[in-house]
Amino acid sequence: MNSDLDSEPLLQIEDLRVEFTTAAGTVEAVSGVSFSVAENQTVAVVGESGSGKSVTALAVLRLLDGGRISGGRVLWDGRDLAELDTRGMRRVRGDEIAMIFQDPMSSLDPLYSVGHQVVEAIRLHRRISKRAARERAIELLDQVGIPDPRSRIDAYPHQLSGGQRQRVMIAIALACSPRLLIADEPTTALDVTIEAQVLEVLRTVQREYRTALLLVTHDMGVVAETADWVVVFYAGQVVEQGPTAEVLGDPRHPYSTALLAAVPTPTTDKALPLAAIPGAVPSLHDTPDGCRFHPRCPQAWDECATTTPDLYALGGGRTSRCLLHRAAPHGTVAAVGRESA
């Protein structure tokens, strides 16, 4: 982790809205999402499956299959990526912003060696010879911890382990030294030892290149280890965000509290069932009125079913989308946390 929390943002997402057209009609998968990522900062986006995390990440690079940005802005160094033409976006993808996908086996082409795919990523944005690109690819494979990279460069994806394939994906993402890496569940399906190694590779890369990292994950342990700032998603909205230590140590939204309560710890009594959040994330075709979390919230009252909460400022950049934080008549903010009633 780093401490550059006051740096000027590289990426600013402002009131982002993303729509998909389905057989059942148009659905808004992301509803008014706003957050930013600064140079050398790691921002983690967390939440249950279907909360809009990956859609937001894909929207940054306009890789929405069947979806479209219907509102808001995605500012990259002051440019609105939503307004760039196809050629302009191609220049940004891979060169300035790169993405590491969660399933390297489906992202890597099985018909080409991993070296060919790294070289292709380099030559797409750099005018260098194949020989020079191959040497650079060997350097990258070495940097991400591929053993004996000079011989492994000619291996095919099926000849590598899951952890090695993920490292190749990181090497491809680093091919042109991007200023922002987007990692979508980069340690999914890896065992804990390989997960730790992949995360260490990402941390090393960040230190060497001062690369910003937008990390999409459901693993709160990964968040605690790597992130400076955390953004909590629920049903297509941001419900809380703030410095990682503060959000994990003192969650201010009931959903954040419930997420953390469901994480096993070394002191968890194995004889007892883990805490679970009742119910399920609502269908985006039929989101509840009022607060989207209220049907599952242990702190909900009648007004939560009818009043849509704003994203309330809590100080220090922290925000929470909960009526418990609404300004009281005397100007204070109602407190909510682990012990709120």
pLDDT tens for 283-328 read 888 899 999 999 999 999 999 999 999 999 998 889 999 999 885 4
Find the distance separating the first CA and the last CA of the chain, reported in whole Å.
34
Residue 273 lies in a domain: yes
Question: How many structural domains comprise the chain?
Answer: 2
CA angle, 80 as apex, 31 and 247 as ends, to 5°? Answer: 45
Residue 190 lies in a domain: no
Among 124, 154, 177, residue at a domain's last position: 177
Residue 307 lies in a domain: yes
C-alpha span between 43 and 227 (Å, rounded): 6
Among 177, 199, 225, residue at a domain's last position: 177
Pick from 37, 40, 21: nearest CA to 29? 21
Residue 194 lies in a domain: no
Residue 334 lies in a domain: no
Q: Look up the pTM and report it.
A: 0.87
According to the model, what pLDDT value does residue 331 have?
37
Rounded average pLDDT over 233-254: 96
Residue 266: pLDDT over 70: no
pLDDT per position as a tens digit, 32-56: 999 999 999 999 999 988 899 999 9
Range of the domain at 113: 104-177
Taken in order 218, 184, 96, 82, is the CA torsion positive or negative?
A: negative
Residue 125 lies in a domain: yes
Residue 340: pLDDT over 50: no
Residue 200 lies in a domain: no
Work out the percent of the chain whose per-residue pLDDT is above 70: 90
How far does Cα 209 stand from its chain's mean position? 19
Among 156, 177, 198, residue at a domain's last position: 177
- 146's CB contacts (< 8 A; 6+ apart) are 152, 164, 167, 168, 171
